[in-house]
Amino acid sequence: MNEIAVLTSGGLDSAILLADLAKSNKTQPIYVRSGLRWENEEISSLKSFIETINNPLISEIVTLSIDGSTLYGKKHWSLCGEVPAYDEPDENVYIPGRNLILVGLAAIWCSSNNISSIFLGSLKGNPFADATDNFIKDYSEILKIGLNKDISVQAPYRGKNKIELIKEFKHLPLDKTMTCMQPVGMIHCNACNKCKERRDAFEKAGIQDRTKYNNEEI
């Protein structure tokens, strides 16, 4: 059985993708640290999610690192300061070149570890340039040339939105995932753009949201 890699943040979309692909593939989760303020909570959530689904086809998490402060500056909102608020548009949560970094680092690691397929959980409606079908296709070709390896980058959920994912995978422990930019311990802040996106998706899906939100009884 060939092993595949899944870029996994511990968020709803990538955790679902990991569980979905691991039904029939030996699967290597890859987490990339770049100093963002929510990373400790994300990786703790990812570990909890993996432990809960208890699938032997999922390998131990590989963690790769890069210093985001050298790219964005130490005062960037993702590293410190005020995160985009509850009602702010998705465009305001943009982190330049995020998928360039994630996929690029994963591809380098995979090229050294005999893994040729990398999956990421980009969804329909993602407004960022480094999440488009053209980017994923072209970047895959560039990586093949630059690494001299047959590297495939795939985003199988590009035709789906978060509401559809929640409906389809409601049987998974989705409450173990983390989609928040300023978590309070392991609890969602209930005050950022990502918390709103998550809450809205569960509501529109008609699925009970078991997520723990700050200042709210669950």
Number of CB atoms found within 10 A of residue 112's CB = 10
Q: Which of 68, 148, 62 is closest to 100 using CA atoms?
A: 68
Q: Which of 29, 34, 56 is closest to 45 using CA atoms?
A: 29
pLDDT for 217 beyond 60: no
- pLDDT class of 216 with cuts at 50, 70, 90: confident
Flag whether 172 is in a domain: no
Contact of 164 with 204, CB cutoff 8 Å: no
Flag whether 213 is in a domain: no
% the chain with pLDDT above 70 = 99
Q: Which helix (H) or strand (E) holds 167?
A: helix 162-168
| 108-131 per-position pLDDT tens digit | 999 999 999 999 999 988 888 888
| 59-94 per-position pLDDT tens digit | 999 999 999 999 999 888 899 878 989 998 888 888
| Number of separate domains in the chain | 1
Residue found under tokens 């509401």: 163
| 163-203 per-position pLDDT tens digit | 999 999 999 999 999 999 999 889 999 999 999 999 999 99
> What pTM value is reported for the model?
0.94
Q: What is the CATH number of the domain that holds 41?
A: 3.40.50.620
Flag whether 57 is in a domain: yes
Flag whether 126 is in a domain: yes
Flag whether 122 is in a domain: yes
Flag whether 218 is in a domain: no
pLDDT for 158 beyond 50: yes
Flag whether 111 is in a domain: yes
- pLDDT attached to residue 64: 98
Domain that holds residue 116: 3-81+96-163
| 43-64 per-position pLDDT tens digit | 999 999 999 999 999 999 999 9
Contact of 32 with 74, CB cutoff 8 Å: no
Q: Which of 103, 138, 124 is closest to 9 using CA atoms?
A: 103
Question: What is the Cα–Cα distance from 190 to 182, expressed in whole angstroms?
Answer: 9
% the chain with pLDDT above 90 = 81
* Separation of first and last alpha carbons in the chain: 42
Flag whether 186 is in a domain: no
